[in-house]
Copies of this chain bind each other. A is one copy, B any other.
Amino acid sequence: MMDFEKILGNVREKAPLVHNITNYVTVNDCANILLACGGSPIMADEAEEAEDITSICGGLNINIGTLNRNTIPSMFLAGKKANELGHIVLLDPVGAGASRLRTQTAEQLIREVRFSVIRGNISEIRALAQGTAGTRGVDASEADQVNPENLDSVIAFARAFARRTGAVIAITGATDLITDGERVCLIRNGHPMMSRITGTGCMLSAMTTAFAVANPDNVFEAVCTSVIAMGLCGEIAHERLGEQDGNSTYRNDLIDAVFRLTATQLERGAKYEMR
């Protein structure tokens, strides 16, 4: 049984400051969800200040969506400095598999930076764990979901990837799968509407960094809790939708639900099982 009260309470109490090197598509949503969950965001991607900024933060969230030649070096500088300082570092390999640049950048980051958490959809994680490329843009291939048929093989490659990298691996989708190389948590919270807004994954990565920073002795459970929280908030937001509401309202409701989230909601709404 996860101690949601303690994990969420730590985020709210410690208000972890998270350095984000992230894409410009969903950056505003990432900042607002960090504030919603109780954390504090700072965005900075210039190489000249990447180390300075990471040094005043508690953790680092590296997201390779809209990466470019100027921000890639910043990811390495900040990542290595964060390693030096013992900070939590999360990688969101957005679109790995979709272009050589993204795949190679993610692979090189994994070689040169020790990540505490790697979170992506199954196509992205598969591309990095197994070297297969089947990503359709930045969304997982439709055919590529965790399902009863492939569950054992997904668990196997996720565990192996966690052991190789030393990171907690979070594969998110309709069913989420989190592993630290031994323990495996399957999560079934969430709602299909979450795939109709941009940034669900990016927001989850930003929030997960804050959860891990605030719970450094319990990163695996912090990651699980953050993934459960996002899925549950996706459900809560869906319940609020009126008949004229669409994805823009849904985005707002999702962030609002994170803002209002309580440990009691988590305890009642969590749908997870350990494997």
Contact = CB atoms under 8 A, between A and B. Distances in A.
A252 B256 contact: no
B53 A99 contact: yes
Interface in A140-155: none
* Copies of this chain, tallied across the complex: 3
Interface string A16-56: 01000001111111011001100011111111110011001
Sorting the interface of chain A by its residue count into under 10, 10 to 19, 20 to 34 or 35 or more gives 35 or more
B36 A198 contact: no
A157 interface: no
Nearest to A252: B248
Contacts of A136: 17, 40, 56
Contact of A100 (B49, B69, B139): B49
Given A28-B25, A35-B196, A99 B256 contact: no
Given A32-B198, A46-B101, A69-B48, A256 B251 contact: no
The residue in A32, A35, A36, A255 that gathers the most chain B C-beta atoms within 10 A of its C-beta is A32
